[in-house]
């Protein structure tokens, strides 16, 4: 199974594109129910915790005097920031109210979707938080019970991706772009990084080079980050004609 790279960066379940909003005053007030968005209700199955399917039992506002400390601290920080904005002359609209703040805590009561008789667990979460909503006939990984792609699968895919990338990298000829592997002609703009070649030390000093084009930007950017971590900063931009071709 090949998992696309964007899923490795930010996990998203394979089997649903539906986002669920909490049934809480002021949250997504004009929501249109569709294949992509829905209101969470008792009985809705959501992905919660470590890629687990949970059945929603109940969602309740949390009384102001029972806010967890974390939320009180966030509220203080938010109102301080808000007051600063007003002082700075920005039009910030109505004074925010604690009881309608979109990041106020609400209590989500859920239980594992495959344990219908288990006692629900209760969590304080942000009112504006959204969840992936699963279909009734959702699937889980046979081995770990997670919603696919499971942690094993994404870790495996990450390792596989890294191995594939290493094989590709080792096949790049000297002087070619370290991202796409293609030659850099004298007419092309290129970005060259002085110093040891961090990805292909065998190519020698000053040999790390990338096409200066959008398609190869990702490679140059990730190389630049590693290169700067090593304490380098000055960058050499190679212009077309630098190799003596000034036609």
Q: Does 144 bind Zn ion (CB under 5 A)?
A: yes
Q: Which is nearer to Zn ion, 115 or 139 (CB)?
A: 139
Say how far apart CA 207 and CA 239 lie, in whole Å: 16
- The CB-of-42 to Zn ion minimum distance in angstroms stands at 29
- Cα–Cα–Cα angle for 121, 19, 157, nearest 5°? 85
- The CB-of-150 to Zn ion minimum distance in angstroms stands at 3
Q: Which is nearer to Zn ion, 144 or 169 (CB)?
A: 144
Q: Which is nearer to Zn ion, 48 or 179 (CB)?
A: 179
Say how far apart CA 189 and CA 237 lie, in whole Å: 8
Residue 123 backbone phi and psi in degrees, to 5: -135, 140
Work out which of 3, 177, 209, 220 binds Zn ion, going by CB under 5 A: 177
63-82 positions binding Zn ion, by CB under 5 A? none
Q: Which is nearer to Zn ion, 141 or 198 (CB)?
A: 141
Q: Does 106 bind Zn ion (CB under 5 A)?
A: no
The CB-side HSE value for 39 (13 A sphere, CA atoms) comes to 15
* Contact window for Zn ion (CB under 5 A) among 8-16, 161-169, 212-220, 236-244: 212-220
Interface mask toward Zn ion for 22-61; x: CB under 5 A: ----------------------------------------
Find out whether 47 and 134 touch, Cβ atoms under 8 Å.
yes
Q: Which is nearer to Zn ion, 31 or 239 (CB)?
A: 239
* Contact window for Zn ion (CB under 5 A) among 86-94, 102-110, 122-130, 139-147: 139-147
Say how far apart CA 196 and CA 227 lie, in whole Å: 9
* Contact window for Zn ion (CB under 5 A) among 16-24, 40-48, 151-159, 162-170: 151-159
What is the separation of C-alpha 150 from the centre of its chain, rounded to a whole number of angstroms?
16
- Cα–Cα–Cα angle for 84, 89, 90, nearest 5°? 80
For residues 222-231, one letter each, b for 16 or more C-beta atoms within 10 angstroms of the residue's C-beta and e for the rest, the string is: ebbeebeeee
Helix/strand/coil for 227: helix
Say how far apart CA 211 and CA 218 lie, in whole Å: 11
Q: Does 152 bind Zn ion (CB under 5 A)?
A: yes
List residues binding Zn ion (CB under 5 A).
141, 143-144, 150, 152, 177, 179-180, 211, 216
């Amino acid at each position: 199974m090949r998992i696309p790279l964007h899923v490795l960066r930010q996990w998203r379940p394979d089997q649903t594109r539906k986002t669920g909003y909490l049934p809480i005053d002021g949250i997504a007030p004009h929501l249109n129910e569709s294949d992509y968005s829905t209101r969470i209700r008792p009985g809705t199955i959501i992905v919660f915790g470590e890629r687990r399917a949970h059945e929603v039992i109940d969602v309740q506002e949390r009384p102001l005097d029972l806010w967890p400390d974390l939320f009180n601290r966030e509220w203080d920080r938010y109102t301080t920031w808000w007051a600063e904005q007003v002082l700075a002359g920005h039009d910030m609209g109505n004074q925010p109210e604690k009881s309608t703040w979109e990041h106020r805590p609400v209590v989500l009561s859920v239980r594992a979707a495959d344990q219908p008789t288990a006692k629900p667990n209760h969590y304080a979460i942000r009112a504006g938080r959204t969840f992936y909503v699963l279909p009734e006939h959702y699937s889980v990984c046979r081995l770990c019970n997670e919603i696919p792609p499971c942690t094993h699968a994404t870790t495996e895919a990450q390792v596989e991706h890294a191995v594939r990338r290493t094989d590709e990298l080792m096949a790049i000829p000297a002087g070619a772009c370290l991202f796409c592997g293609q030659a850099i002609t004298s007419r092309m703009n290129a970005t060259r990084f002085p110093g040891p070649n961090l990805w292909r030390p065998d190519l020698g000093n000053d040999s790390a080079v990338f096409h200066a084009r959008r398609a190869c930007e990702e490679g140059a950017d990730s190389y630049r980050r590693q290169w700067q971590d090593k304490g380098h900063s000055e960058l050499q931009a190679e212009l077309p004609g630098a190799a003596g071709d000034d036609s």
